[in-house]
Structure 1
């Protein structure tokens, strides 16, 4: 009888349309918080290197058990809604609170409510729109047989949008592990040992990211990042890490190109 009930519950779960979560950044020294509209009935992490604890029915607390743990999958069911995403370790997360509550139209009349609703608005349609757009920038890095070029940069009032062409010129497939994003400042030589490093780690709001690039093939990557302003001498550092292998490629996009990008 219990087996039948379990199968029934899993059957309902599999037919539920999943909502995409942000990539949740967590640390081993603090806690990241996820807030949902409805009670949480299921939490599953892809590895035991992270822990998740539900508090007051609707809040999920996440933490890494040790530094530098590998990213993993996250599945949460809140009420009848299924949420899927990823969890990754970051030494100093840029944010610790992830609010997935959806407000109704009557509650969205206040500026604060409109801000929350706007921040939760889907960006995937704009990323899809970029698929047919023409290149408007060129920032390129070639290393270890992998050719990465940023070919589109756009902004709107809340986000920066990037399109990258990644070509694998080798005969070995490039299997992606993780892409990280960090805004950095170029300090004058005289200040490098006197001023604390200036950087801000970012997590994409949304992405279209192929997991594998076969030999000799080109794949396109699309990202939306929270809008961030830096000095003209700064840059956005993107690091592509290989899952099965040692190829790590760093692409530096000058902040000036981002700050002067066209509106999308």
Structure 2
């Protein structure tokens, strides 16, 4: 009987240790109140819930969950989701400049290989050729001494190619983290309903020439995106993010501009 009690206590202790270890090893998802972060899964998400909905908001979009903080510097809170009838648990924590994507997919296939008919070598050659094209003024945003311009748009039969120019008129180096892309769609449910917006992340096929922009200088960035025919209520958003700073700039690229871009 004594051995049975000891064995039961040991099993219970190991169980609680295992539970504690799993809790400690939960994924932390950093979120800000300025932009959405996306949790990507292999299968559709059927349920999502946050510990304190007054601090964070979560929304299901197919195989992804969109999360955003409701205010600046809110406390951490747990997040629970059901993915393909399996539970997912994590912690939402505030950070001014979080990652845009948290990839929990088991099979992470590069976008350029996942889309049939796209040759990575051709993508790279197209982007290199855009370096020789003259800069055009398609749109710009300015903040903190940084000017973010779209200066080139072209298509072929499988991708859209973008050329960006970043001008640094400040005395602080701009260390680019990445340029994130989203497709924004406006919609209305019901004739008298208020128009709403939803955004979908876009994973670039190829990126070239990501480097810091020194003070009082300029730099170019080149991206290839999956080809998409944008409707009248859709637009492409390109967000320039700084690795060691908060100078974040977003360009809205109109569907008309994309549809009328030149072909290679």
Q: For 1:101-120, what aligned pairs fall within 5 Å after superposition?
A: 116=116, 118-120=117-119
Give the Å deviation of 1:30.
2.7
Q: Which residue of 2 aligns with 1:21?
A: none
CA contact (8 A) 2:205 2:225 kept: yes
Larger radius of gyration: 2
CA contact (8 A) 2:111 2:203 kept: no
- Evaluate the alpha carbon distance shift between residue 97 and residue 141 of structure 1 in structure 2; reply closer, same or farther with a 3 A threshold: same
Q: Which residue of 2 aligns with 1:37?
A: none
TM-score by length of 2: 0.56
Structure 1 residues not aligned, in runs of 5+: 1-25, 33-62, 71-87, 103-114
CA contact (8 A) 2:176 2:242 kept: yes
Tell me the SS of whatever aligns to 1:127.
helix
Give the Å deviation of 1:89.
5.6
Provide the aligned C-alpha RMSD in A.
3.8
Once residues 254 and 38 of structure 2 are traced to their aligned partners in structure 1, the CA distance between those partners, rounded to angstroms, is: 28
Once residues 240 and 120 of structure 1 are traced to their aligned partners in structure 2, the CA distance between those partners, rounded to angstroms, is: 26
Once residues 144 and 191 of structure 2 are traced to their aligned partners in structure 1, the CA distance between those partners, rounded to angstroms, is: 33
CA contact (8 A) 2:186 2:195 kept: no
Once residues 204 and 181 of structure 2 are traced to their aligned partners in structure 1, the CA distance between those partners, rounded to angstroms, is: 8
Give the Å deviation of 1:199.
2.5
Q: Which residue of 1 aligns with 2:101?
A: 90
Once residues 177 and 124 of structure 1 are traced to their aligned partners in structure 2, the CA distance between those partners, rounded to angstroms, is: 20
TM-score by length of 1: 0.56
- Evaluate the alpha carbon distance shift between residue 199 and residue 120 of structure 1 in structure 2; reply closer, same or farther with a 3 A threshold: same
Structure 2 residues not aligned, in runs of 5+: 1-36, 44-87
